[in-house]
Amino acid sequence: MRRRTAIITTAAVAASGAVAGLGIWLAQPSYVDMVKDCQKTLTSSATQTHRPAACKGLKQDDYDTLLMAWTLKHALKDMPKEDRDALDQYDDGSINGSLTDGP
């Protein structure tokens, strides 16, 4: 009887530990969620060595890519319209002077 009680107790403790571990693991944000949070917090004060807190868990290459994309986005947005590259614009396919900033 003692042996059966010990086995049941051990199995119950192991099962509850597995359930708790699974719950903790599922509560962690995914890498994709961390990337999205990092994108939301990037500002002009972010640099390659000075990361916002939301970006601490990202790989260096991924962080560098996000930082470069943020910088380019804001550089193009702040650039005067006449200085923008024609490839950044939309053409409806007709020869009618339809070059605009997208559909």
Residue 103 lies in a domain: no
Report yes or no on 93 lying in a domain: no
At residue 90, the pLDDT reads 59
> What's the CA gap between 10 and 16, in Å, rounded?
10
Whether 37 and 56 have beta carbons less than 8 Å apart is answered as no
Are 67 and 41 in contact by the 8 Å Cβ rule? The answer is no
DSSP assignment, residue 100?
B
> Domain count of the chain?
1
Asked if residue 71 belongs to a domain, the reply is yes
Amino acid 24: pLDDT: 78
Q: pTM for this one? A: 0.53
Q: Does residue 43 lie in a domain region?
A: yes
Least confident of 29-38, 73-82, 89-98: 89-98
Q: What is the pLDDT of residue 75?
A: 76
Asked if the model's pLDDT at residue 16 lies above 70, the reply is yes
| Residue the block writes with tokens 């990337």 | 35
pLDDT tens for each residue of 25-46: 777 778 888 888 888 888 877 8
Sole residue written with tokens 């053409």: 91
* Domain presence at residue 99: no
